[in-house]
Amino acid sequence: MHEQFNLIIEILGTISFSMSGSFAAMQKRLDPFGVLIIAFVTSVGGGTVRDLLLDVPVFWMTDLLTFVLILTTCVFTMIFKSIEKNFKVTLFIFDSFGLGLFTIIGIQKGLSLGFHPLICLTLGTITGCFGGIIRDILLNRIPLIFRKEIYATACIVGGGTFLLLSKYSILSYTLVQIFTILLIVSIRTLAVKYHWRIPKFYGYESNQEM
């Protein structure tokens, strides 16, 4: 049951980030091949960086399911594009769910290899965020993680909650996973709705000019 639910999380995370990447690419008016490339790097970018750091086989190179999911989702999204007008809202929804789902995957992989919880939290944040970073760089945008918007912070808060609840609460492991995913999505949603921001630094040169 536990392994089956983990597989569901991985499938949903791949679909969510694939749709996120596809919508972001269509916003930039890329051709279908470009949309597929952006969907692919958004879906596998974080997990690839994580596995390279862990010196283990990169997950998508040993599992054709990832390719099939990304290709199918990408084609569906391009067809769905004809009836979906609000790219920004759709991109936000799928990006938020992908963030929550992949954060859990990264933490669990670190735990399965016996790493310290803080390292696992870092791995979860990398898994959740780096696909979006690569996507935004390729699309010539400042990645969300480097802006004032709450992004990596949601991973850290959610991931920390997951580690605490999985160790100290009486909730089942599956409920802890679901709660953590919804918590990360909720933090992202509330942050955007109520304009929560992380203070930014002002450049030395701009102060000099003043």
Output the pLDDT for position 86. 67
* Structural domain contains residue 73: yes
More confident position, 84 or 163: 163
Nearest-5° Cα angle at 125, 27 to 60: 70
- Report which DSSP code applies to 141: -
Most confident range, picked from 84-88, 115-119, 169-173: 115-119
Give the whole-angstrom CA distance, residue 138 versus residue 161.
Answer: 32
Question: Angle of helix 2-27 relative to helix 117-138, nearest 10 degrees?
Answer: 30
The domain tally of the chain equals 1
61 in a domain, yes or no? yes
pLDDT in tens, 192-202: 888 787 776 66
Mean pLDDT, all residues of the chain: 89
Q: How much is the average pLDDT of 113-122?
A: 96
Range of the domain at 70: 2-144
Q: By percentage, how much of the chain surpasses pLDDT 70?
A: 90
* In a domain? residue 153: no
In a domain, 179, yes or no: no
Q: 19-23, 82-86, 144-148, 198-202 — which is least confidently predicted?
A: 82-86
Contact 86, 104 (CB under 8 A): no
Mean pLDDT for the stretch of residues 5-30: 92
Tell whether 151 is covered by a domain.
no
The answer, yes or no, to whether residue 79 has pLDDT greater than 50, is yes
Distance, in Å, from the CA atom of 161 to the CA atom of 103, rounded to the nearest integer, reads 12
Residue 150 lies in a domain: no
- Could you tell me the pTM of the whole model? 0.89
Identify the weakest region by mean pLDDT among 50-54, 71-75, 205-209.
205-209
In a domain, 167, yes or no: no
Whether the pLDDT of residue 210 is over 50: the answer is no
Domain annotation covers residue 116: yes
Q: How far is CA 72 from the centre of its chain?
A: 19
Kindly state the average pLDDT of the residues 80-103. Answer: 82
Residue-level pLDDT at 209: 45
> What would the pLDDT profile of 148-158 be if each residue is shown by its tens digit?
668 889 999 99
